[in-house]
Amino acid sequence: MRVGCPKEIKTLEFRVGLTPDSVLELTRAGHEVLIETNAGAAIDFLDEQYEIAGAKIVSTPEEIFAEADMIVKVKEPQLHECAMLCEGQTLFTYLHLAADKPQAEALAESGCWAVAYETVTSDVGTLPLLQPMSEVAGRMSIQVGAACLQMAAGGRGVLLGGVPGVEAGKVVIIGGGTSGYNAAQMAVGMHADVSVFDRSITKLEELDTIFGNRIQTVYSTAGALAEAITTADLVVGAVLVPGAAAPKLITREMLGTMKKGAVLVDISIDQGGCFETSKPTTHQDPYFEVDGIVHYCVANMPGAVARTSTLALNNRTLPHAVNLANRGVQDALRRDRHLKRGLNVAKGWITHEAVAEDLAMKFKEADDLL
């Protein structure tokens, strides 16, 4: 198979779909790999390294899309990239379609097979290709939240860890999954006062076993959350409904109960955000203020630490990329039920039920198209 990897084009997005080591695995398996020039240069993966691994360097993304049987990316294709996809071509990347109807429509129109990292599953019920970026985003949420609390960003001027004689900042984490757990790790490490909210008692028990009395675990109800945010300095939204839009858990009206200069970090923004006042931002212009509350809603948070993120992502995506290349998309999906759950669009249909429901688009089971 001919596998193509274009350079990412979202604002300040420096991750790359394939590392030189990943290219070597694909070429050793007998596949041809096309890499757009300078696709990984910003994070020190140079064209020369890709060539040594057996890749062919091409000058433009148009060449990648025209010649490759499978496109491997990191972020969702922009609309002009969707227009370059063709019928029967495989796209393997993050999609987050539930919050992006124009992209879903463009992918359906192309006739491609679009496999989304974020809905591939595992035997233990996790989302293994989403996990590494959730780990990065969770850890970053505390880092960027702490920066937003500084006066220069419009924050309250609170140091999360406090100092002797001054109480620590209060951190509320909504969601105890991978992102929430990693956020808690960082917040605890900074000596903040940490509360984690979740609706799964099992998850709360796990967190209690791990952290003990270093955090408070709270069953998430509307009332409990509304009370907690009134004293919070930093609130991290780490809610995930696989494939579907995130629920809005903090309304604009609730902002009026919060401390002036408190910070909301919305990790869920890729799925539409879990705060009513959230809107996607970029690393170039990362935060904004609503009713005195600072919002950080960067839609590709892990892109800020692009080398770490690229390596972590390739560790998880490479086996599936090799499987897709070895077997072709249809045979690979038939043989691997977890990879099949990653299929979001095929032959003009939405094949993920939650996405189709959120976007009010036509749905067909993947099995009916294989």
Name residue 157's amino acid: G
Q: What is the 3-state secondary structure (H, E, C) of the chain?
A: CEEEECCCCCCCCCCCCCCHHHHHHHHHCCCEEEEECCCCHHHCCCHHHHHHCCCEEECCHHHHHHHCCEEECCCCCCHHHHCCCCCCCEEEECCCHHHCHHHHHHHHHHCCEEEEHHHCCCCCCCCCCCHHHHHHHHHHHHHHHHHHCCHHHCCCCCCCCCECCECCCEEEEECCCHHHHHHHHHHHHCCCEEEEEECCHHHHHHHHHHHHHHEEEEECCHHHHHHHCCCCCEEEECCCCCCCCCCCCECHHHHCCCCCCCEEEEHHHHHCCCECCCCCECCCCCEEEECCEEEECECCHHHHHHHHHHHHHHHHHHHHHHHHHHHCHHHHHHHCHHHHCCEEEECCEECCHHHHHHHCCCECCHHHHC
Q: Which residues are catalytic?
A: 96, 270
Of the candidates 236, 264, 230, 256, the one whose C-alpha atom is nearest the C-alpha of residue 155 is 264
Distance of CA 191 to the CA centre of its chain: 27
- Cα atoms in the Cβ-side hemisphere of radius 13 Å centred on 19: 17
